[in-house]
Amino acid sequence: MMKYIKKLIFSALFALGITSFSVTANAACGKIVMADMNWASANLMANVDKVILEAGYGCEIELIAGATMPTFTSMNEKGAPDVAAEQWANAVANPLKKAVAEGRLHIANKAPIKGLGEGWWVTPGTLKRHPELKTALDILDHPELFPYAEDPSKGAFVGCPAGWGCQLANANLYRAFEMEKKGWVLVDPGSAAGLDGSIAKAAESDKNWFGYYWNPTSIIGKYNMQPIDFGVPFAGSENWDGCIVKPEQECADPKPSAWTHSEVNTVVTDNFKKTAGNEAMKYLEKRTYPGEVMNAMLVYMADNQADGADTAIEFLKTQESVWTKWVPSSVAKKVKAAL
Amino acid sequence: MDFFDQFPVMEQQELRDFKKGIDLAFRTFARTYGDAIESFFEPLLFFLVWLEKLLINSPWPMIILVLAGLAWIASRSILLVIGTIISFLMIGYFGMWKDTMSTVAIITVATLVCLAAGIPMGIIMARSNRAQATLLPVLDMMQTIPSFVYLIPILMLLGIGKVPGLIAVCIYAIPPIIRLTNLGIREVDKEALEAIDSFGATTWQRLTKVQIPLALPTIFAGVNQTIMMALAMVVIASMIGVRGLGVPILRAISNQYLALGLMNGLAIVALAIIFDRISQHYGKRIQKHREGRNL
């Protein structure tokens, strides 16, 4: 009997010890669920956040798989997961505004990655050979520099694969800039593989290439693709949302315009703000990846076929000057120790 | 015991380096020879573009007339001629004329390329057991390897467009013509061969006067299969930038446009049935002609 009681007391003490220990460890933070989105840059960011928040702020992080729409819907309706590191906001603009106004969601960082967005790009060799090509308007005057394989008298502008939303936008901009009259053909690459392949082919053999792509991506980083200024300002959301992104028959008179700004935020729930505290919020506010660093990491990821967790470690090890600015030095020390 | 529980797997880093090595080797190859290979295919591209433009720019009644004429010459069946005319009228009426002409162009050129390369290969295979033993597994691979796998190296080598599309189509469509040419020649009666040998025929005479004519029905079954398989690849070819009926189908897939997908899919079916019947009837007529002479 005595033995039994002793055992009970010991185990109770033991259990108490563990609980109190975990309480002290998590004093500043709590249990956080983060969305691990299904594309490379968001996947990397979630894993970097996990390491820094766990090692530096004592949070307990669980990553769950996510995608733009399902994750936002779940955060908006159920308040979980707590953090979406790279939430493309254009698709969810209105409900996000409403949720922020009601205080259910908070935008922790308005631009987690610099130089992000969609647009028109050329191979770096193109700019080296023809430094006079400053804007898209300059390029459009020189279709002969981008000969189309099937009709070399015309220039090839590589648009978006059939069926993607950006296909409509590119087709309408093609009309708005009067590219057909200027001697251009809008080439449909057919698929993501086709689009990537046409860039890879042109960049590997150092040929000129002009077309649509988006950032941050490993393709842009790997081949050092150069964004092209449109040479015209953004012609208003009425033109863009009411015409450019619509099918041709619903867009009678498209106006030349720069690509619409892609709103990308780090979105957190109210629960995160409360449990993780101000320190963690401050970290997310400061956490902005320079575009070229993000692209370099994506290239590392693609070249080594590494996953987000491996790449996060690589990032924390090699890019200290970037991430140590995001956190106080005491936190940086803890994170470094954990690596 | 560990050995039996855990499969002896290649070390992860080594495996990664191995894969990277293959990628790099191919990239270097593509960078060095890409341009040369591209210019090698230039005449083919020229022919393909010329044929597509011809088909698209000719007045539509003329195209239908020519196709109906072809159907008549090949089959002598008034039913098939009427079916051809109605199918193409409907394709045009539903706004798929241009895409259909692009598809007809690439299928025609792909079939010609496959025949030009495949029949000689089939003959070589029939003449040498060693050639047959080496080629058969290659043909098996070409027919079963998922097309997306060879799209990547083709893209790296030739970029996007008609020629890479054509090559992708041919990789899939050429095996039947090779196989059936081989089979047809091997199945020629020994007596017929003995007879021509006894007349002192040369190898060339033996091939062109006896083996190929007697194998022609089987070879035609191969032509027919090659056309059918080329049509089956239309959508895949569109994924690397070939214009035609595959493009609206891809658009339909990513947007769940039921009607668009169905209409363009049925247009491919119509093309397939027409080409199939024409080539089959033609094959049968050759056979009938031969049977007639034998009587």
Per residue in A217-272, pLDDT tens? 889 988 999 999 999 999 888 899 888 888 888 888 999 999 988 889 999 999 99
Distance of CA B180 to the CA centre of its chain: 14
> Which residues 6+ apart lie within 8 Å of B285 measured at CB?
B74, B75, B76
Residue A237 located in a structural domain: yes
* Residue A145 reports pLDDT greater than 80: yes
Among the residues of chain A, which ranges form H helices? Answer: 2-25, 40-57, 68-78, 93-101, 124-129, 136-140, 165-176, 192-204, 218-222, 237-239, 270-286, 291-303, 308-318, 320-323, 329-338
Tell me the pLDDT band of A79, cut-offs 50, 70 and 90: confident
The DSSP H or E segment spanning A88 is strand A83-88
> Does B49 contact A150 at a Cβ distance shorter than 8 Å?
yes
Residue A2 located in a structural domain: no
The CATH number of residue A192's host domain is: 3.40.190.100
Residue A1 located in a structural domain: no
User: What is the C-alpha separation between B206 and B60, in angstroms, rounded?
Assistant: 45
Question: What residue of A is the nearest CA neighbor of B162?
Answer: A150
Share of chain A above pLDDT 70, in %: 92
Q: Which residue in the block uniquely carries the two structure tokens 């108490």?
A: A16
Based on the fold, state whether residues A58 and A153 are members of the same structural domain. Answer: no
Instruction: At A9, list the tokens.
Output: 């007391």
Give the best residue of A148, A187, A205 to mutate against chain B (max B CB count within 10 A): A205
Question: Of A208, A226, A250, which marks where a domain is finished?
Answer: A250
* Residue A22 reports pLDDT greater than 50: no
Instruction: Report pLDDT for A128.
Output: 92
State whether ipTM is beyond 0.90.
no
User: What is the C-alpha separation between A32 and A25, in angstroms, rounded?
Assistant: 14
Residue B19, chain A, CB below 8 Å: the answer is: yes
> Does A198 contact B155 at a Cβ distance shorter than 8 Å?
yes
Based on the fold, state whether residues A126 and A83 are members of the same structural domain. Answer: no
For residue range B76-85, list pLDDT tens digits in order. Answer: 889 999 999 9
Residue A13 located in a structural domain: no
Instruction: At A244, list the tokens.
Output: 């450019």
Based on the fold, state whether residues A95 and A127 are members of the same structural domain. Answer: no
Question: Of A250, A279, A309, which marks where a domain is finished?
Answer: A250
For residue range B124-145, list pLDDT tens digits in order. Answer: 999 999 999 999 999 999 999 9
> Does A190 contact B159 at a Cβ distance shorter than 8 Å?
no
User: What is the C-alpha separation between B196 and B202, in angstroms, rounded?
Assistant: 9
Instruction: Report pLDDT for B23.
Output: 86
Q: Under a CB-based contact definition with an 8 Å cutoff, are residues A62 and A113 in contact? A: no
Based on the fold, state whether residues A246 and A146 are members of the same structural domain. Answer: yes
Give the best residue of B46, B57, B155 to mutate against chain A (max A CB count within 10 A): B155
Instruction: At B142, list the tokens.
Output: 């070409």
> Does A197 contact B16 at a Cβ distance shorter than 8 Å?
no
Based on the fold, state whether residues A108 and A124 are members of the same structural domain. Answer: no
Tell me the pLDDT band of A303, cut-offs 50, 70 and 90: confident
Q: Under a CB-based contact definition with an 8 Å cutoff, are residues A55 and A43 in contact? A: no
CB atoms inside a 10 Å sphere around CB A26: 15
Mean per-residue pLDDT, B271-288: 85
Residue A142 located in a structural domain: yes
Residue A22 located in a structural domain: no
User: What is the C-alpha separation between B17 and B14, in angstroms, rounded?
Assistant: 5
Q: Which residues of A touch B (CB under 8 A)?
A: 149-151, 158, 161-164, 167, 187-191, 193-194, 197-198, 200-202, 204-205, 303-305
Mean per-residue pLDDT, A89-116: 88
Position A215: which residue type? N
User: What is the C-alpha separation between B240 and B168, in angstroms, rounded?
Assistant: 9
> Does A204 contact B31 at a Cβ distance shorter than 8 Å?
yes
Q: Which residue in the block uniquely carries the two structure tokens 């895949």?
A: B236
What's the per-residue H, E or C state across chain B? CHHHHCCCCCCHHHHHHHHHHHHHHHHHHHHHHHHHHHHHCHHHHHHHHHHHHHHHHCCHHHHHHHHHHHHHHHHCCHHHHHHHHHHHHHHHHCCCHHHHHHHHHHHHHHHHHHHHHHHHHHHHHHHCHHHHHHHHHHHHHHHHCCHHHHHHHHHHHHCCCHHHHHHHHHHHHHHHHHHHHHHHHHCCCHHHHHHHHHCCCCHHHHHHHHHHHHHHHHHHHHHHHHHHHHHHCHHHHHCCCCCCCHHHHHHHHHHCCHHHHHHHHHHHHHHHHHHHHHHHHHHHHHHHHHHHHHC
Residue A37 located in a structural domain: yes
* Residue A24 reports pLDDT greater than 90: no
Domain, as residue range, for A246: 117-250
The CATH number of residue A104's host domain is: 3.40.190.10
Question: Of A197, A220, A250, which marks where a domain is finished?
Answer: A250
Based on the fold, state whether residues A127 and A101 are members of the same structural domain. Answer: no
Residue A122 located in a structural domain: yes
Based on the fold, state whether residues A109 and A125 are members of the same structural domain. Answer: no
Instruction: Report pLDDT for B27.
Output: 86
Position B205: which residue type? Q
* Residue A17 reports pLDDT greater than 50: no
Cα dist from B71 to B75, B101, B221, B276, whole Å: 6, 17, 17, 11
Mean per-residue pLDDT, A26-39: 80
* Residue B293 reports pLDDT greater than 60: no
* Residue A6 reports pLDDT greater than 70: no
Least confident interval from A14-18, B256-260, B287-291? A14-18
Q: Which residue has the higher pLDDT, A11 or B72?
A: B72
Q: What global pTM score does this model have? A: 0.78
Number of domains within chain A = 2
Share of chain B above pLDDT 70, in %: 97
* Residue B286 reports pLDDT greater than 80: no
Which of B152, B161, B252 shows the shortest C-beta gap to A150?
Answer: B161
Instruction: Report pLDDT for A275.
Output: 87
Mean per-residue pLDDT, A152-169: 88
Instruction: At A120, list the tokens.
Output: 């028109």
Based on the fold, state whether residues A123 and A74 are members of the same structural domain. Answer: no
If you write DSSP's letter for every residue of A135-157 in order, what string do you get? BHHHHHT-GGGSEETTEEEEEEE
Based on the fold, state whether residues A110 and A135 are members of the same structural domain. Answer: no
Based on the fold, state whether residues A110 and A122 are members of the same structural domain. Answer: no
Based on the fold, state whether residues A215 and A274 are members of the same structural domain. Answer: no
* Residue A19 reports pLDDT greater than 50: no
Based on the fold, state whether residues A126 and A229 are members of the same structural domain. Answer: yes
Instruction: At A95, list the tokens.
Output: 């409900």
Question: What residue of A is the nearest CA neighbor of B23?
Answer: A303
